């Protein structure tokens, strides 16, 4: 049996990593809870059981979709991500969830069972989580539907309902998948959202307010780059309510103060020559809203380095040690910009600095003294041979900074 401390650590790590993407590592899980409090369910229904993780900062996040669910009798009811689908048969079934078992022990961290009696119940009414919504354009909100059945039975039937909007040009509503019941504000006006099941329905009034933009802001933090490199400019509109909306490039007009320094293809800025250029961004639908960003082109003579098609910076020493050997398909590319450079001090050693022979490791495609012609891509790979378990590949480029390529790999024990 795991110790209580280890059990708690496993539980925290698992549920924080599996729950919603905005979970922070400093949150501690206190408990799991749910809002399911009935032992009766209707036949031919989709019933949602929602399970929540409760954290020490007071926050709560639904984790129904990351739990392992099971049914004691699939002919009566099936379950996936907490969504229970009952058949037309009456009978008793147990729906259960548990967290993933640890690698060292078969004891689940959390588990719970729901004994259910499936009966042919009569749906008397539907109650929505809200009866009125006030949204700005492009906002969304999830409505949930509670079915009220005979015998004072309440069930979440959000997935079982048919959702519709009286005016989809004002507000639409999702009617399929896990987003069923999500209301989207489209344009200014009023609409009615309806959830219906078995001849019973409930509605919510939606008022969509026009979102007026009061300003534009460039979201990029890095505004410096080098010749041949590109920056994709991201721009947000600041709404009258203080909200931020990321705008698509086709909603904006981009102009450069000097296209011989920075050229533009919509919101993609490419460095052409060393210097500075001001990019002016204008909202097409309201030309009075503009903003600017100063882009600096720092270098026009340097060496570019790519790993597996993605550009990385020299000196390439950010990942000093790996716990696995270099992959055979890891490909590097060097490319000189503006000036011809050469490669020197090629070295393959162990971590103590002892040289390894060519029969143990070498650079494939790169040799001592190789030149890097301007504008030519020079590919190379790192090759491991022999029995050594430590490899330190390195070389220098004779640019003004004598930039270093340095990668360490250690075979797993």
As a whole number of angstroms, the distance between CA 290 and CA 360 comes to 59
Does 102 or 29 have the greater pLDDT score?
A: 29
β-bridge pairing 140-142 and 111-119: unpaired
What pLDDT is attached to residue 108? 59
139 in helix, strand or coil? coil
What pLDDT is attached to residue 26? 58
| Residue 237 reports pLDDT greater than 70 | yes
Enumerate domains of the chain plus CATH numbers: 4-119 (2.60.40.1080), 123-209 (2.60.40.1080), 213-297 (2.60.40.1080), 302-410 (2.60.40)
> Average pLDDT of 213-237?
94
What pLDDT is attached to residue 24? 41
pLDDT band at 304 (very low <50, low <70, confident <90, very high): very high
β-strand partners of 335: 304, 377
What pLDDT is attached to residue 317? 75
| Residue 233 reports pLDDT greater than 90 | yes
CB within 8 Å of 57: residues ≥ 6 apart: 27
> Average pLDDT of 124-136?
95
| Residue 25 reports pLDDT greater than 60 | no
What pLDDT is attached to residue 101? 56
What pLDDT is attached to residue 363? 94
Which segment of 30-34, 158-162, 337-341 scores lowest on mean pLDDT?
Answer: 30-34
> Average pLDDT of 27-39?
86
Locate the DSSP E strands across 129-258. Answer: 132-136, 140-142, 145-149, 153-156, 162-165, 171-173, 182-185, 189-197, 200-209, 213-218, 224-225, 230-232, 235-239, 244-246, 252-256
Which backbone phi and psi does 175 adopt, to 5 degrees?
-130, 25
> Average pLDDT of 313-335?
71
pTM: 0.54
| Residue 124 reports pLDDT greater than 90 | yes
| Residue 9 reports pLDDT greater than 50 | no
| Residue 409 reports pLDDT greater than 70 | yes
What pLDDT is attached to residue 100? 62
What pLDDT is attached to residue 16? 41
| Residue 386 reports pLDDT greater than 80 | no
What pLDDT is attached to residue 326? 60
> Average pLDDT of 197-209?
95
> Average pLDDT of 101-112?
64
pLDDT band at 301 (very low <50, low <70, confident <90, very high): very high
Tens of pLDDT along 55-72? 888 889 999 998 999 999
| Residue 2 reports pLDDT greater than 80 | no
Residue 273 near residue 261 (C-beta atoms within 8 A): yes
């Amino acid at each position: 049996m795991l110790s209580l401390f280890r059990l708690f650590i496993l539980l925290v790590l698992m549920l924080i990593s599996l729950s919603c993407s905005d979970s922070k590592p400093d949150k501690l899980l206190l408990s799991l809870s749910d809002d399911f409090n009935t032992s009766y369910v209707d036949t031919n229904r989709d019933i949602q059981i929602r399970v929540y993780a409760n954290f020490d900062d007071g926050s709560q996040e639904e984790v129904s979709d990351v739990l392992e669910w099971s049914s004691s009798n699939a002919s009566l009811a099936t379950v996936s991500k907490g969504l229970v689908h009952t058949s037309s048969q009456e009978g008793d079934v147990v729906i259960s969830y548990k967290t993933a078992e640890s690698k060292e022990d078969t004891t689940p961290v959390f588990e719970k069972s729901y004994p259910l009696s499936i009966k042919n119940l009569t749906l008397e009414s539907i109650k929505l989580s809200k009866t009125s919504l006030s949204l700005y354009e492009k906002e969304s909100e999830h409505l949930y539907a509670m079915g009220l059945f005979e015998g004072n039975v309440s069930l979440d039937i959000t997935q079982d309902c048919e959702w519709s909007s009286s005016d989809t040009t004002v507000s639409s509503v999702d009617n399929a998948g896990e987003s069923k019941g999500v209301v989207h504000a489209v344009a200014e006006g009023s609409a009615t959202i309806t959830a219906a099941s078995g001849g019973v329905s409930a509605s919510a009034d939606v008022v969509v307010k026009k979102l007026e933009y009061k300003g534009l802001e460039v979201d990029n933090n890095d505004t410096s780059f080098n010749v041949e490199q590109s920056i994709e400019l991201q721009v947000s509109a600041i709404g009258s309510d203080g909200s931020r909306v990321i705008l698509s490039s086709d909603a904006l007009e981009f102009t450069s103060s000097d296209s011989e320094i920075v050229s533009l293809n919509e919101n993609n800025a490419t460095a052409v020559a060393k210097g500075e250029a001001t990019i002016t961004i204008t909202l097409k639908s309201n030309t009075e809203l503009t903003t600017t960003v100063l882009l600096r082109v720092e270098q026009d003579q340097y060496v570019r380095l790519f790993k597996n098609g993605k550009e990385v910076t020299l000196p390439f020493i950010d990942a000093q040690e790996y716990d696995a050997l270099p992959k055979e398909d890891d490909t590097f590319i060097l490319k000189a910009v503006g000036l011809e450079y050469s490669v020197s001090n090629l070295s393959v050693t162990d971590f103590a600095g002892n040289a390894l022979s060519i029969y143990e490791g070498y650079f494939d495609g790169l040799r001592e003294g190789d030149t890097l012609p301007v504008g030519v891509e020079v590919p190379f790979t790192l090759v491991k041979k022999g029995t050594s378990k430590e490899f330190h590949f390195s070389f220098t480029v004779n640019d003004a900074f004598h930039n270093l390529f340095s990668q360490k790999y250690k075979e797993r024990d």
